[in-house]
């Protein structure tokens, strides 16, 4: 897997239970750790935007 720059969610508390995101113009990669992730979910930017939209609407 190519080296990616991972960003931790701003909603994370202290500890390891966090979502980390890395993106390119054509893909958004999600994992649960920023160093040597074993499992990565990759989705299109449109699919990620739809997920965020759904989550935001269910919280408000």
CB neighbours of 7 closer than 8 A, spacing ≥ 6? 20, 21, 22
pLDDT at 1 over 60: no
Report the pLDDT value the prediction gives residue 60, as an integer from 0 to 100.
61
Report the pLDDT value the prediction gives residue 2, as an integer from 0 to 100.
60
Q: Structural domain of residue 26, as residue ranges?
A: 7-59
3-state secondary structure the chain: CCCCCCEECCCCCCCCCCCEEEEECCEEEEECCCCCCCCCEEECHHHHHHHHHHHHHHHC
The domain tally of the chain equals 1
Tokens in use for 56?
């935001």
Over residues 2-56, the pLDDT tens digits come to: 678 888 888 787 766 788 899 999 999 998 877 766 788 999 999 999 999 998 8
Residue 2 lies in a domain: no
Residue 36 lies in a domain: yes
């Amino acid at each position: 897997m190519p080296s990616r720059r991972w960003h931790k969610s701003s909603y994370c508390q202290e500890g390891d239970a966090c979502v980390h995101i890395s993106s390119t113009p054509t893909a958004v990669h999600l994992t649960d750790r920023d160093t040597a992730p074993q499992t990565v979910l990759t989705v299109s930017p449109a699919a990620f935007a739809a997920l965020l939209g759904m989550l935001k609407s269910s919280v408000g």
